[in-house]
Structure 1
Amino acid sequence: MSIERLRTPEERFSILPGFPYQPHYIDSLDGYDSMRMAYIDEGNSSAETTFLCLHGEPSWSYLYRKMIPVFVEAGHRVVAPDLFGFGRSDKPVDDKVYTFNFHRNSLIQLIEHLNLKNITLVCQDWGGLLGLTLPMDMPGRSTRLLVMNTAIAAGDGASEGFYHWRNFSVSVPEIPVGGLIANDARSEVNLLDIVAYDAPFPDNRYKAGVRRFPSIVPVDPGMEGAELGLRAREFWSSNWEGDSFMAIGMRDAVLGEKVMAMLRSTIKNCPKPLKVEEAGHFVQEYGKEIAEKALAHFQLQKVPAQ
């Protein structure tokens, strides 16, 4: 099918002092009408472990700028894609293009294209809503999980905070992306960070994904993705054999401690979480400590020299 899309001008990303990574692109995903997906691929491409960092709404891979260096300096590979509609990736204009499977299938194809193995899945928000449904259908690729402020949505409702957020997202003329993240992350975000979070969206025409994502979280039975969520819960509770690490931004009113406690009870052998008291929903803004403690837990602090 033909997909009308916008592409953010590259000059919008010209001032990113905290994110010096060069984008890679793929435009051959099957069923995506040659749309271009951007991703960061840093570190040793032949490293044994790959950290796959999946962002959520309304951010992009820039959200991982404090965690990527920690993983890379320890000798690992880091792949961080921008979902369609976000970051440097192309942005379908029609809100209806954005569906659960549209995004999930693009991630499956990217993982297969790059042939990622021994994956440490790093996810938050929609990165988890989507990412936590992937390992069950891609057996043998994922060995570890670093999970932050997210959930597995399976058609059985959500927190009161989520419904407030969903109502807000459909009622305002335009979602102020940079300001939203700055308000949540407080002192961890500076003026240049706000510019970077706003960079993908020259105007409201580019924000179809930003508008659409809250409305497609599968919180009701029959919504696309709900059945996948049920399967994913079964996988993580019964079939997951990997190692897990959980961090919680404690100020998050949408996907905070209560929601994460439910998720932890679903993940087989998930240890007690790291509680980041000062962090909100965008917990990666406090990501250096999280990355370091996750590496220590996984015993991946430093790859021995060959």
Structure 2
Amino acid sequence: MTDVLRTPDEHFRDLPGYPFAPHYLDDLPGSEGLRLHYLNEGPRDAPETFLCLHGQPTWSYLYRRMIPVFTAAGHRVLAPDLFGFGRSDKPTDDRVYTFDFHRESLLRLIQRLDLRNITLVVQDWGGLLGLTLPLEEPGRFSRLIVMNTALATGDVRPNAAFYAWRAYSNAHPNMDVAALLRRASGRVSHEESLAYEAPFPDARFKAGVRAFPRLVPTHPDAPGAEVSRQARDWWVVQLHVESFMAVGLRDPILGAGPMRLLRSVIRGCPPPLEVAHAGHFVQEDAGDEVARAALEAFGLAPGGR
């Protein structure tokens, strides 16, 4: 294993809107010796578990507006930090980060904690990875909340905005994460943007951030493309996962067009909640609004079915 960095705890003190206690696992099969961080909020014995998966360059901080809505309704919430992000360990070699590396760690987390009756909450890479998980463990998933993401099947070419983003990322190996979040969301304050930068004291900590744009499967033989096509085929025919879609319309990469395509392959997916003022990071611009609407749609709000 390459060198591994661990962001000092003091970087996570007094972050605005993030009062959650950390939890760790360091024994996930295939990732032995790496410590994975996750949030675990709400009643441990709640019948419903919301599994919230972040993307790039964010971490579980992204879900701080949605978590209180879910827990106030009596539900349990798990929000892991992918390796290379947040409070999780950060291998320094960019080559460690592969589609399968991230996907396997999420599957092992679900199995290790024996999560059941999962509402899968995904956006960005949280969806590219997360939407493939029910393929392996279909009986554990009951609902889906999906925001600005895709299934990266390799047989649908991304739009020009994606290639521009990938070129920008490749040209900025020490990406200013705080500045990016301020540009992308009008709701993020200066202090909140610094919280997004907190896990990354310097460029050595950003290998995972750098890797993700290069990992998007853009041709049929790319790593992750085949399992994504299998997942697409599964979503087309599955019968038991209830879904809710929200779309940030200001997203130039994964906005209305890509989300229409995704909706067409999720059997039973109702018309989306279109959020005109939201961009790519829907959880920032409208996370509490989306969480309440999803609970209402599922009948899981207080007083629901």
TM-score higher than 0.5: yes
Alpha-carbon separation, structure 1, partners of 2:281 and 2:83: 20
CA shift, 1:46, in A, is 0.3
Alpha-carbon separation, structure 2, partners of 1:209 and 1:152: 20
- The residue identity in structure 1 corresponding to 2:10 is E
Change (3 A) 1:173 1:208: closer
**In structure 2, the residue corresponding to 1:112 is in which secondary structure?**
helix
Change (3 A) 1:4 1:33: farther
Matches within 5 A, 1:164-203: 164-186=164-186, 188-203=187-202
Structure-1 residue corresponding to 2:288: 288
Structure-1 residue corresponding to 2:159: 159
Matches within 5 A, 1:220-299: 220-285=219-284, 286-299=286-299
Matches within 5 A, 1:45-84: 45-84=44-83
- The residue identity in structure 1 corresponding to 2:124 is D
CA shift, 1:33, in A, is 3.3
Structure 1 range deviating more: 122-131 or 161-170: 161-170
Matches within 5 A, 1:34-113: 34-113=33-112
Structure-2 residue corresponding to 1:114: 113
Structure 1 contact 133–228 (Cα < 8 Å) conserved:
yes
Which deviations, in whole Å up to 9, do the C-alpha atoms of 1:242-292 show, x marking residues without a partner? 110000010000100000000000100100000110111001011000000
Alpha-carbon separation, structure 2, partners of 1:302 and 1:92: 42
Alpha-carbon separation, structure 2, partners of 1:74 and 1:3: 43
Q: Percent identity?
A: 56
CA shift, 1:293, in A, is 0.3
Change (3 A) 1:94 1:294: same
Structure 2 contact 173–210 (Cα < 8 Å) conserved:
no
CA shift, 1:194, in A, is 1.0
- The residue identity in structure 2 corresponding to 1:75 is G
Structure 2 contact 30–105 (Cα < 8 Å) conserved:
no
Alpha-carbon separation, structure 2, partners of 1:241 and 1:249: 26
Task: Structure 1 unaligned segments of length 5 or more: list them.
Answer: none
Which deviations, in whole Å up to 9, do the C-alpha atoms of 1:181-232 show, x marking residues without a partner? 111111x111210111000000000000111100001111211100011001
- The residue identity in structure 1 corresponding to 2:290 is I
- The residue identity in structure 2 corresponding to 1:137 is E
TM-score in terms of structure 1 length: 0.97
Structure 1 contact 169–214 (Cα < 8 Å) conserved:
yes
Q: How many residues align?
A: 302
Structure 1 range deviating more: 19-28 or 238-247: 238-247
Alpha-carbon separation, structure 1, partners of 2:128 and 2:122: 9
- The residue identity in structure 2 corresponding to 1:167 is A
Structure 1 contact 86–209 (Cα < 8 Å) conserved:
yes
CA shift, 1:3, in A, is 3.5
Task: Structure 2 unaligned segments of length 5 or more: list them.
Answer: none
CA shift, 1:66, in A, is 0.3
Structure-1 residue corresponding to 2:16: 17
Structure-2 residue corresponding to 1:143: 142
**In structure 2, the residue corresponding to 1:290 is in which secondary structure?**
helix
Structure 1 range deviating more: 133-142 or 232-241: 232-241
Alpha-carbon separation, structure 2, partners of 1:58 and 1:52: 18
- The residue identity in structure 2 corresponding to 1:165 is W
- The residue identity in structure 1 corresponding to 2:150 is A
CA shift, 1:240, in A, is 4.1
Change (3 A) 1:5 1:85: same
Runs of 4+ residues over 3 Å off in structure 1: none
Change (3 A) 1:103 1:240: farther
Which deviations, in whole Å up to 9, do the C-alpha atoms of 1:93-127 show, x marking residues without a partner? 00000000000000000000110000000000000
CA shift, 1:170, in A, is 0.6
**In structure 1, the residue corresponding to 2:277 is in which secondary structure?**
coil
Matches within 5 A, 1:19-34: 19-34=18-33
